Structure 1
Amino acid sequence: MTPEEFARDSWHRDGAATAALPPIEELRARADKFRHTIANRNLREYIAGGFVIVAFAVMAVLAPFVAMKIGAAMVALGAAYVMWQLRRRGTPLDPAREGGALSLLEFQRRELVRQRDALNSVFSWYLLPLVPGMLVLMASPMLATPVEQWALPSPGMAIRLAAPFAVFFGVWLLNKWAAGQLQKQVDEIDALTA
């Protein structure tokens, strides 16, 4: 039975839509678990982002080619921008501050929508800021070589150059899938409150 059918049957059977709602303790536990999951995800992202920023900042100082230094600095700045966007878009809402005037279901729905939207737009704020620096880094050995010595990359080199973008594509797909899972939860809440 779909959530919509369950809500509709409960409405007709009991005469009130609230009959279909789970107990408040269960709703609160689900909301708390979701906030905890998001906070843990963000912590892992901040740790990884800090590592990327430090590693590429060090590379920007120690790299042998100017183009490599510039590319590494661009990646470090891109990662800092990603961390700022994650904080802005992905930090869980504070129930005490932002949920006090809302019902638990409405608060949870807003949080789900907010996280869904962050995941749906991950290409623009999470992946894209890293691309320019990566391209400059990948091109830096070629840029350090005289033009007359340029050659097409070997198949192995082409695969190594394409690998980061394949990872980016996988990250994008995974986030789109996760956004779809959050949308299902939004739809369940909408069915319960309709």
Structure 2
Amino acid sequence: MTDTNDTSAMGALWKAQAMQPRVLPADEIHRRHAALERRVGRRNLIEYLTAAMMIVGIVGLVLLDIRLGAFGGRSIGLILLGIGGGVVAWQLHRRTGGRAAIDGAQPSIEAYRHTLRRERDALASVARWYIGPLVPGMATIYVSAFLKVPPGGRLLVIALAAATAIAMIWVIRLNRRGAEAMAAELESHDRFSNL
């Protein structure tokens, strides 16, 4: 049987031990920061190219509508969608385009944290700046198609609109999960830096 004084003494000794904070070595911070910046750069490049191709395609379709004398609701929706794509590309650059370089001007961990915060904030608000600008164009296209097709084809238009809405919700959820992961990493860095 153990003596209660021994147990309480061991507990006091355990509590008195100094906590060793988890400190990332400088090379690990540089590696993580560079990997994150590469991932963001690749993603942004893909998004910019996608927006550019979308805008070129939309211009072609609108010009075709004009040439065929079919300029109408769909054409207006396409124009709105193209404008939305431009807004998305601009917002992506504005929110995530500036890199926080590890150059000695600030501690490496602060540059990495800055990049994590920037990405977390951008991912968490993707519904507003990424999905939001595309909604007016998509809604106009679907409403125009719904009004134009014969009654038997309206169910297909509704199904396509629902599939688009589900895809948009999926993109929002996926980005929010990414934001939560970055928030957790930031929280762990903050917790250990405050010890």
**TM, length-normalised to structure 2:** 0.81
- Structure 1 residues 92 and 185 mapped into 2: Cα distance closer, same or farther (>3 Å)? farther
**Deviation (angstroms), 1:141:** 3.1
Match of residue 5 from structure 2: none
Tell me the alpha carbon deviations over residues 84-117 of structure 1, each in whole angstroms, 9 at most, x when there is no partner. Answer: 0000001142416xx6432111111111011100
- Structure 1 residues 155 and 138 mapped into 2: Cα distance closer, same or farther (>3 Å)? closer
Match of residue 164 from structure 2: 164
**Deviation (angstroms), 1:66:** 1.3
1:77 aligned onto 2:79: no
User: What RMSD, in angstroms, separates the aligned Cα atoms of the two structures?
Assistant: 2.2
Mapped partners of 1:174, 1:123: distance in 2:
11
SS at match of 2:18: helix
Match of residue 30 from structure 1: 32
Mapped partners of 2:126, 2:179: distance in 1:
10
1:101 aligned onto 2:108: no
1:42 aligned onto 2:38: no
Structure 1 gap segments, 5+ residues each: 1-8
Residue pair 1:61, 1:69 contacting (<8 A) in 2 also: no
**Which one has the largest radius of gyration?**
2
Residue pair 2:145, 2:157 contacting (<8 A) in 1 also: no
- Structure 1 residues 26 and 190 mapped into 2: Cα distance closer, same or farther (>3 Å)? same
Structure 2 gap segments, 5+ residues each: 1-14
**TM, length-normalised to structure 1:** 0.81
Residue pair 1:39, 1:92 contacting (<8 A) in 2 also: no
- Structure 1 residues 152 and 117 mapped into 2: Cα distance closer, same or farther (>3 Å)? farther
Residue pair 1:70, 1:136 contacting (<8 A) in 2 also: yes
Residue pair 2:58, 2:79 contacting (<8 A) in 1 also: yes
